[in-house]
Amino acid sequence: MIIRATAKLHNISRLTPIRNESVIQGPLPGEWYASLVSTGWKRGAAIYFVHNPSMLMVIVLGKSIKKAMVEMPDRVRALLERNGFSALTQAFELDTPYEIFATYNRNILSNMTQMKFSLEYSLAIEEELGSAEIVRIEDLYLDYLMGGKIAGEEDYIRPVDQLRKLMRLDIG
């Protein structure tokens, strides 16, 4: 599993950024981009992972990417199963060893920055930030609209539509 973490996340996790400019060969297993997001009011931080090319997003509370990688595969599995995409779980290769690299794709990063603003607000307005709230936010972001170069010929894409396309391709 390829994880591309931002420079800030590398610094906080005390990792040396390693550059890997290999291009993903197909839609799955793809690669995951990771960045830090504030949860608001003394609640600390969280790491949000966005899958390229499906743009699926999961949140893990905490600042350390190494600790987050223990929980991240289970969060992805749960998100896919909750929303009827369990057939794709194996194709994501969540049980393979992970490698953490530096980010390089500005198109993904620009969409993640836009998502971060909305996500910080969603996290900050929660009175409590437990598992149920994180699950609700992850499910909500399946309908998040993304545009720009990442959408290709379409004006906008949504992660749920990308997952439906993968289901039609019978990748799972």
* Predicted pLDDT of residue 44: 87
Is pTM beyond 0.85? Reply is yes
Q: What pLDDT is attached to residue 15?
A: 86
Give the Cα separation of 123 and 137 in Å (integer). Answer: 8
Are the CB atoms for 58 and 75 separated by under 8 Å? Answer: yes
Note the pLDDT tens digit of each residue in 13-68: 888 888 887 777 778 898 999 999 999 867 689 999 999 999 999 999 999 999 99
Domain count, the chain: 1
CATH number at residue 42: 3.30.420
Checking if the pLDDT of 172 tops 60, the result is: no
- Burial group, residue 22, by CB count within 10 angstroms (0-12, 13-18, 19+): exposed
Q: Quick one: pLDDT at residue 34? A: 97
Report whether pLDDT(171) > 70. no
Q: Which domain holds residue 26?
A: 2-168
Stretch (H or E) spanning 138: helix 131-140
pLDDT in tens, 65-89: 999 999 999 999 999 999 999 999 9
For the chain, the maximum distance between any two Cα atoms, rounded to a whole number of angstroms, is 44
* pLDDT tens digits, one per residue of 95-124: 999 999 998 788 888 889 999 999 999 999
Residue 125, pLDDT score: 92
pLDDT band at residue 155, thresholds of 50, 70 and 90?
Answer: confident
